[in-house]
Chains A and B, each alone.
Chain A
């Protein structure tokens, strides 16, 4: 589909996603080698967005499996439609319902993994926050990712006609199995550079004044240098820039930052750390950094 990394980069850009070269390379290799890609990084650096953009760039359907503790096969792969089954048995004459009939495809509820494997159209399968699922599920996933087939005892084995592109994300709340990591390519997404973050803001917040975009990005970069409980990610920068643009601002000043800081910082301690003089100093710095960048 994409012959070079540059082509993929252009494709992602038209999906309004600006990856660093390393991420573009990782996505490219994941497609070329048909291997799942494990993305890690701080919250809000765009792990999930990367999968969405990849789906758009490759004109694929995005199928997302959000992991959580207790996720099991019934919610990830398939489940039988029990109420329909029971109704079906009642409706039919006694003794005329065969087991085969009852466990046929029309009573099957397809969950994300089965859907991704059965799909005839190209698919990007996003397995989000895999570290939240428990070990048992990880073991199951391992099996599925190695041969892309799923066995339903009542029906048989379903295998994929074309391998879906698979992106896994993890926030590293726990260490994943080595075996699972071995199946995957790996990429660590970092916070973007200032130049790249400005580009991202300009791309994602249409109509934002250039100067404001530069100052907002520089301000967030400044925040990341501080010792915060939760440093803001690109997602927060975009939210914030949207808020600033919606307020019709042309430039950053201490007052407007104070009013809107809630879209950047999510913890009370962090608010306390970015107050008064600290806040004024950060705004000053952001303005001068942005001005230096513009020259």
Chain B
């Protein structure tokens, strides 16, 4: 009997805790917050959870420069990665390189800003509970895992940690039935897409015999870690890639899979929508870039880039044109976020090209993510303020005369909206310009068409943002707003009576976002060193 248990020692991986710090801080921050508030009633006081979350985000952010310095100081970077500094962690489950750090930074910033915005929101709505913040932190840790996963199974785990927490957050406004409806729709469609994504992983695994990205990439060029070459069934790989593209396409709300976005954005609590458009999108694009460029970047790049091309073009067109007919600002912004995802896909299309253009494409997407994180969080912070108690005051009519009532807020909002338009001297201009320029550099007919479509989309999209700007600077409504899309008649009356309360912390978020939008628009080369390093890290 004893022989059953006498086993040879398994070789166990060495854990390099230091490089794991961002993930651990975010995840343990969430767990610790829940534990402390469970056992110590003192912790349940006002603002404490928000402060805790901000501190956790700042701590995670503070670790990044040290990790970057340690990475650059590595004597022997991992071989076969284009000579770029990278560290494989937990036996090739995760990889930390400059790309990981860039994405982690953006996610941490999103967590900090959303937590600040959430504080004012929860106080107004009367839900002072730590769960919101804990879920935010855990979701963010999933995002970092997704962007740094080196193994497709870990990619799936990261994707699910990221999404499941957000499903709950979407449904957490217990007094609005729209919120639960949004949570349910998001959940069902999200679960469908993750099942499809998982099926794609299974196909790729079956074809290549490996779930690690380097193993997958290696087997396609005829070798893998063990030196064996399973006869790679290329049709199976293609099916797998297509299925995984569907999974990621859902998360970034790309064209055929964007249907959930307007409903979910309209129903979910506004700060959470800010989180979805920033951290969730950043993480999903991070994971998508790593999986597709590192894993499938070699032999199959010419196959999937065509799919990305079509997705990108249609996403931009659908997002821009459908946004025009909306009367609810959250739905409008949902379509605008679909259009933005299309622009980022244009960059991804360019990134799939051979080396030099590919780098321009990657840099363009990463810069777009940076710009859009700040612009979208700022925008939704304003929407959250104007939403008033009950989070239902979201018709575009509600913005009439905002410039007179809240001049500072209106000015900042104007900057943010111009940023989303892509007007010069804002971050949005360079973001859009760079992805379109990268696509034009590909120098193929379809790439020129895509660049043309992107410019058309940008021009059409300008209308929807300017509509809001014009409303803000018009006089206070002549006719009391009758077409409020999503509030019943009796709540409508209540919403009208209540004055706009502007929490100073949320206003600070709006102003910060507006300032960053302007600064990045005037000095677009701030941080370009880190950007270039992050883009180069994806070369394998």
Question: Do A and B interact?
Answer: no
